[in-house]
Structure 1
Amino acid sequence: MKTQKKHVNDFGNDSVPGLVLRVSVPFMFAQFVNVMYSIVDRIYIGNIPAAGADSLAGAGVCAPIITLLSSFATLIGIGGSILFSMRLGQNDKKDAEKILGNCFSTLILFSAALTLIFLLSKGMLLHWFGASDVTYPYANTYLTIYTCGTFFALLSMGMNYFITAQGYPLLGMVTTLIGAILNIILDPLFIFVFHMDIAGAAVATVLAQLASCIFVLCVLYRKSMPVPLHLRRPDPVLVKRILALGFSPFLILATDSIIIIAMNAVLQYHGGPGYGDTLITCATIVQSYMMLITSPMLGITGGSQPLISFNYGANKPERIRKIVFCVLMLCIGFTSFMFLVSRFLPAAFAGIFTNNAEYIELSVWGIRAFTMMIIPLSLQYTFVDSLTALGMTGLSLFLSLFRKTTYFVATCLLPFAFTAASAFYAEPIADGIAALTSTTAFAIVYMKYLKGTGSLMEIGTGRGQAA
């Protein structure tokens, strides 16, 4: 037992600042590495001879569909890991093992269903999401191959949450590191050596996800894990609880797809046949840059969720206060650094994707517009994910949907009043308003439930959903 203690973080007793760093930073790095899947693909795709710009636009059209597919891994992974961590905080390993097995079997069923559904509907979806006659062939090729690997993507992403929840954040980071490194190696091989172009990028991504999936399952099946994985027949009542807890983060990610869809459609409509594809190509570059900010920040706040849920289960409100504060400071520090990078180095980032001067100039402007309010966005991410970890999914969902609704409305309305490119300002408008709203909401919750000696068991609907 002493040997195990050296390697497993004690969520209930270790010093909070050190614990947050040891858990959240690896998870943050894991999310950063994970986002490299799509960014590396886009970099290589954008540099395909002759067809680079159109291929990149096609990959951009696929982005919301891929995000939608990934959100189902979050639905099960976050929902299950929150409930799982609460049970560990209550020292109920038997129930925790049951939760882990149910999440595994549910992800398998979801993977099979989603693969079939998206393969049958991909043509219709791509036209809805902004594919033009020029970009459709590239988007269709990429999405068809990627969808065939849905099983590996969902299992590796969804089950990886349970590695971190058991006190092994570094192993969780290795999961995504394996996939990213393999993807970086295979991309140029399939795209340029085997001359598969955009199809090669998709094949490389699927093989990378396969490797990550194998690693995750091997880790969780080890008998040395505090709660090893065993396949269980889905329990409808338990699965319903898991889905209820995971619905908020799922909808948050799923609605990201709607925003990207709206952005692509608006840019295509207001930009016209020629300039519309140019705007979508630049929007793809800008959104790739934003992923370098939002994904690591989601890693920080998501990595802290097992800590909050564990201490919620153990009824330790003082530790929860400290965890939330440390996570907020970490997010503000990260976004402040990225804000400075956004002011001085966006041209270097855009130049990785294309050597077209027009695309680079427009992308630099777009990056600076998108990142105007990323520091206040730290408040939104920290407070919404903290409320989710406490089981207050109703409130966290409302705050997230409020931001997404503001973003959607601004995206649709701004081009009517100004130009097509003004849709890029929807991001900072939504981020600023959402930061004020989420801070106010969390302050009310903090004063009512967390300040003083009140029992956390009374928080919102958290206990009712988790019990």
Structure 2
Amino acid sequence: MSLENTQDNLGTESITKLLIKFSIPAIVGMVVNMLYNVIDRMYIGNIPNVGGLAITGVGITMPVTQIITAFGMLVGIGTCASISIAFGKRRKDEAEGYLGNGLTLILIISAIIAVFGNIFAEQILTLFGASENTLPYALAYIRPLFWGTICNLFAFGLNNSVRSDGNPKISMYTMMIGAGINIVLDPIFIFGLNLGIQGAAYATVISQFIAGCWVLYYFTKSKKSSIKLKTSTMKLSLPVVKGILMIGLSPFLMQMASSVVSVIANNALMTHGGDLAIGAMAIITSVCSIFVMPIYGLNQGSQPIIGYNYGAKNYARVRQTYVYSLIACTVILTISSVIVQAFPEFAVSMFNKDPQLTDKTVAGMKLFLLSMPLIGIQMTASTFYQAVGKPKKAMIISLSRQVIFLIPAFLFLPRMFGLIGVWLAGPIADTLAVMVSGFIIFKEMISLKKLDAEMNEEEECSAEEISA
């Protein structure tokens, strides 16, 4: 697809059609990509004799994998949004500069995480809540993932830019390739080769490596890409790097905050519920991801549309895209909430059959996910500010739940209510964060409406002058 066609489509085509065109592939891709972790946990939770402890070990590694994902977001989302805005300004060379610098940042960050992660793996996992029983499983799972960080960041980080280049279906194929290979390799490595939990990690890294190669091919050899990855653009430029990191900082900090929250939650869970409570949270998080991943896909689909039209000063289309995205997210999350509350036992049974773990997980899930229908407001608002290049507001919205509300809730509520306090922390933090983000984004929509009115007045005046 040429750059000109991309501009024409994003600036003129129906918003509804564009959202379907960009979001459906992103939703499918994100749901499939979510299977990386969910399928891993399904197989791991059903390993004979050790499934309960093994899935708890995976739960311990969650803050670590969140940190790795955070760096992928820092570079990937920052590069993606920067490319979209550059396209809106019709600056192809600038877009290629962001792509090249994004790749270099991924290479540097991956090397640092791989080396330091493996050196301090045991100390990190112990700090994050591993016990003598769960540490061996956590180590077996996380060490291959550390070495495979570059595969993760290539597959996840650069794939965002494929969508900004106007090819959401190819971005979807990237995630489908990786997840499909992972699903095939998981039972072979875990059970066939008898590698257990470590086999799940090997399967994930191999699948991410192949997906990463696919993305690299797209930006170097494919005729479908309108921008190319060139060695000349890989030399780091301070203004370009700053642009990428400033936009990517909000999702990065949100994900890092998620990691800190997971550590605090794991310690609260261990204190008030033991190893099985950590396993319960791992299952709850997996079930939640099944329903929330479509929202991430919808937001990713809206991002290039919002970014392009904001760069082109088409403020009415920016507002319309946001509102449509919010409505779709709210509908999806409301339906998801009904399913979770009505059939919790079925959702839990996919991950483990242990009666004690099932009872603890069902009780926790009903409370922890109580406010699910509301969270679309915060998620869409954060994506909006990332797309338009306003990192400070994106950061405030992103961190409101994790840092301002959820961390204090995890620290104080369990002291008063025990394990129930841990589960109640989720809906309380969600509701407060939605109130904050709703207030901020409402003011932004009013501001955009005024800008649009001013633009229309200027166009009318110009037309009158020409006629005169």
Aligned to 1:286: 284
Distance 1:404 1:29 in 2: 27
Aligned to 1:437: 436
Correspondence 1:154 to 2:156:
no
Distance 1:187 1:359 in 2: 23
Native 8 Å contact 1:47 1:353 kept in 2: yes
Identify unmatched segments of 5+ residues in structure 1: 457-467
What is the DSSP-based 3-state SS (H/G/I as helix, E as strand, rest coil) of the residue aligned with 2:385? helix
Native 8 Å contact 1:8 1:168 kept in 2: no
Distance 2:177 2:374 in 1: 33
Aligned to 1:242: 244
Percent sequence identity is 30
Native 8 Å contact 1:317 1:455 kept in 2: no
Aligned to 1:60: 59
Distance 2:358 2:454 in 1: 54
Aligned to 2:298: 300
Over 3 Å counting, the alpha-carbon distance change for 1:7 and 1:80 in structure 2 is closer
Which of 221-230 and 183-192 deviates more? 221-230
Native 8 Å contact 2:33 2:175 kept in 1: yes
Distance 2:83 2:265 in 1: 37
Distance 2:162 2:454 in 1: 29
What is the DSSP-based 3-state SS (H/G/I as helix, E as strand, rest coil) of the residue aligned with 1:84? helix
By how many angstroms is 1:9 displaced?
Answer: 8.1
Number of equivalent positions: 451
By how many angstroms is 1:116 displaced?
Answer: 1.1
Q: Which residue identity lines up with residue 51 of structure 1 in the other structure?
A: V
Distance 2:8 2:428 in 1: 39
Distance 1:7 1:94 in 2: 15
Aligned to 2:463: none
Distance 2:58 2:8 in 1: 40
Over 3 Å counting, the alpha-carbon distance change for 1:5 and 1:278 in structure 2 is same
By how many angstroms is 1:250 displaced?
Answer: 0.8
By how many angstroms is 1:224 displaced?
Answer: 3.7
Aligned to 1:259: 261
Aligned to 2:466: none
Distance 2:451 2:388 in 1: 17
Q: Residues 397-455 of structure 1, C-alpha deviation per residue, up to 9 Å, x if partnerless?
A: 11221211201111111110011242011111111111111111111122234335267
What is the DSSP-based 3-state SS (H/G/I as helix, E as strand, rest coil) of the residue aligned with 1:283? helix
Aligned to 2:465: none
Distance 1:17 1:224 in 2: 24
Segments ≥4 residues shifted beyond 6 Å: 2-9
Q: Which residue identity lines up with residue 253 of structure 1 in the other structure?
A: Q
Aligned to 1:465: none
What is the DSSP-based 3-state SS (H/G/I as helix, E as strand, rest coil) of the residue aligned with 2:10? coil
What is the DSSP-based 3-state SS (H/G/I as helix, E as strand, rest coil) of the residue aligned with 1:446? helix
Correspondence 1:350 to 2:348:
yes
Normalised by the size of structure 2, how large is the TM-score?
0.93
**How is 1:87-126 mapped onto 2 (pairs within 5 angstroms)?**
87-126=86-125
Q: Residues 220-253 of structure 1, C-alpha deviation per residue, up to 9 Å, x if partnerless?
A: 2124411122232111221122111110111111
What is the DSSP-based 3-state SS (H/G/I as helix, E as strand, rest coil) of the residue aligned with 2:235? coil
Q: Residues 315-352 of structure 1, C-alpha deviation per residue, up to 9 Å, x if partnerless?
A: 10011011001101110111011011112222112111
Native 8 Å contact 1:153 1:213 kept in 2: yes
Aligned to 1:193: 192
Native 8 Å contact 2:315 2:448 kept in 1: no
Q: Which residue identity lines up with residue 343 of structure 1 in the other structure?
A: Q
By how many angstroms is 1:8 displaced?
Answer: 9.4
Residue in structure 2 matching 1:332, options 326, 330, 333: 330
Q: Which residue identity lines up with residue 41 of structure 1 in the other structure?
A: D
Aligned to 1:459: none
By how many angstroms is 1:181 displaced?
Answer: 0.9
By how many angstroms is 1:353 displaced?
Answer: 1.3
Distance 1:28 1:60 in 2: 25
Over 3 Å counting, the alpha-carbon distance change for 1:204 and 1:313 in structure 2 is same
Distance 2:312 2:294 in 1: 28
Over 3 Å counting, the alpha-carbon distance change for 1:215 and 1:62 in structure 2 is same
Distance 1:446 1:213 in 2: 37
Aligned to 1:225: 225
Aligned to 1:23: 22
By how many angstroms is 1:270 displaced?
Answer: 2.6
By how many angstroms is 1:370 displaced?
Answer: 1.9
Native 8 Å contact 1:449 1:455 kept in 2: no
By how many angstroms is 1:258 displaced?
Answer: 1.1
Aligned to 1:128: 127
Aligned to 1:212: 211
Q: Which residue identity lines up with residue 259 of structure 1 in the other structure?
A: V
Residue in structure 2 matching 1:394, options 372, 392, 395: 392
**How is 1:29-44 mapped onto 2 (pairs within 5 angstroms)?**
29-44=28-43
What is the DSSP-based 3-state SS (H/G/I as helix, E as strand, rest coil) of the residue aligned with 1:49? coil
Q: Which residue identity lines up with residue 267 of structure 1 in the other structure?
A: L
State the Cα RMSD in Å: 1.8
Normalised by the size of structure 1, how large is the TM-score?
0.93
Distance 1:455 1:135 in 2: 61
Which of 356-365 and 140-149 deviates more? 356-365
**How is 1:444-463 mapped onto 2 (pairs within 5 angstroms)?**
444-453=443-452
Over 3 Å counting, the alpha-carbon distance change for 1:37 and 1:449 in structure 2 is same
Native 8 Å contact 2:381 2:397 kept in 1: no
By how many angstroms is 1:41 displaced?
Answer: 0.6
By how many angstroms is 1:311 displaced?
Answer: 0.7
By how many angstroms is 1:12 displaced?
Answer: 1.1
Identify unmatched segments of 5+ residues in structure 2: 456-468
Native 8 Å contact 2:316 2:448 kept in 1: no
Aligned to 1:460: none
Aligned to 1:378: 376
By how many angstroms is 1:206 displaced?
Answer: 0.6
Over 3 Å counting, the alpha-carbon distance change for 1:344 and 1:5 in structure 2 is farther
Q: Residues 177-197 of structure 1, C-alpha deviation per residue, up to 9 Å, x if partnerless?
A: 111111111111011111110
